[in-house]
Amino acid sequence: MLVGVLMAKDVSVIIPSFNRAHLLELIIPSYVQDCVLEIIVVDDGSTDSTVEVLNYLARKYSILKYIINDKNMKQMYSKNIGAAAAKGTYLYFGDDDSFVTEGALNLLRLFIENNKRCIVAARALYMKPDESSEQCLLSNCVIARNASDLVNPYTFEHHFYKISDAPIEVLSCQACIMIDKCSFLDIRFYEGFIGSCQREETDFMLRARAAGMKIYYYSSACQINLPRILASGGSWSSPIKREFSLFVNHSLFLFRNWSQIINDYGYLAPLAHFLAIYVMKLRNVCRKYLK
């Protein structure tokens, strides 16, 4: 809570979910913050008890709503339909395996109101199995001095665990973002990526920048991912399918954004990205399957 600030309730939180019924009770309460008008969970064709858990949570939290996909349509479709159904002026895209820290959404909401035509991203941390959220925050106190400390222009790796004294403008960011609904609906997530996806957010960010939007990283707001041992289900169930989808999606990302990458990072950036990603993927596959 921000003391002394009357917070408008005009943020719609969009959370796509697939077979994460065991996590929803852990993460949903964190999204109930002063600025939140509604929480929209899009059940992406889950086969577990997700609907039953959502019914229970909807009785507990009146702002919780949910949409059910008849079959698994993947995250990008689910985010797009959740955004289209939203009533808020602003959208925040959460995850079904992570929670936001107290007041995080309020901070992002104030920032985006004062910086029109922008996207603002929260800090993203990953808990270890033996960590509490407080320990996770304390163990990731690495300072970011500028944008180059946050985004690698050749691999598009995002180091959004770092902290900064003030928001930093960046060329792309990760998934935990706030954006005004009208701007989002003009861009939307591309739904052509396959499998567990990857680069879908970066693809969106590059198109948003091409449309004249600025992107900021605001480390005072934080979203924390639950330990992988707890966050089972979702898109992590088949390592082989995941590696294949990553290969396809990186290729598609490069094809779709070749000219924008050159414009942002220079002529060598697409080739460097191609080599860095595929050499890394080949190395990972060899380590996993050719032992």
What residue ranges in 3-117 does DSSP mark as E strands?
11-17, 36-43, 64-68, 90-93, 98-100
Binning pLDDT at 50, 70 and 90, where does residue 90 land? very high
Amino acid at 188: R
pLDDT of residue 280: 66
22 in Cβ contact with 33 (< 8 Å): no
pLDDT of residue 216: 97
122/288: higher pLDDT:
122
pLDDT of residue 207: 93
Cα–Cα distance for residue pair 59/63, rounded to 1 Å: 9
The whole-chain average pLDDT of the chain stands at: 89
- What average pLDDT does the segment 70-79 reach? 94
- What average pLDDT does the segment 48-54 reach? 97
pLDDT of residue 131: 92
In this predicted structure, the answer to whether residue 1 has a pLDDT above a threshold of 60 is no
Q: State both tokens at 270.
A: 């697409």
pLDDT of residue 236: 52
Query: Using CA of residue 151, residue 117, residue 92, residue 100, what is the dihedral sign?
Result: positive
Determine what percent of the chain is predicted with pLDDT higher than 70: 90
- What average pLDDT does the segment 2-28 reach? 88
- Give 129-158 pLDDT, tens digit per residue: 989 999 999 999 899 999 999 998 777 788
Tokens 């690698």 found at: 152
- Give 231-284 pLDDT, tens digit per residue: 776 655 566 777 778 778 888 888 898 888 888 777 777 777 777 666 766 666
Amino acid at 21: A
In this predicted structure, the answer to whether residue 19 has a pLDDT above a threshold of 90 is yes
279/43: higher pLDDT:
43
Binning pLDDT at 50, 70 and 90, where does residue 3 land? very low
DSSP per-residue string spanning 146-171: SGGGTB-TTT--B-TT-B-SS-EEES
What residue ranges in the chain does DSSP mark as E strands?
11-17, 36-43, 64-68, 90-93, 98-100, 118-126, 168-170, 177-180, 214-225
pLDDT of residue 289: 59
**3-class DSSP assignment, residue 23:** helix
Tokens 């407080």 found at: 134
pLDDT of residue 161: 94
In this predicted structure, the answer to whether residue 229 has a pLDDT above a threshold of 90 is no
Q: How far is CA 223 from CA 61, 103, 125, 175, 261, in A?
A: 20, 11, 6, 10, 27
Determine what percent of the chain is predicted with pLDDT higher than 90: 66
- Of the candidate ranges 67-76, 77-86, 249-258, the one whose mean pLDDT is the lowest: 249-258
CA 238 to chain centre: 21
pLDDT of residue 45: 95
In this predicted structure, the answer to whether residue 187 has a pLDDT above a threshold of 50 is yes
Q: State both tokens at 175.
A: 């998934």
pLDDT of residue 234: 60
Binning pLDDT at 50, 70 and 90, where does residue 2 land? low
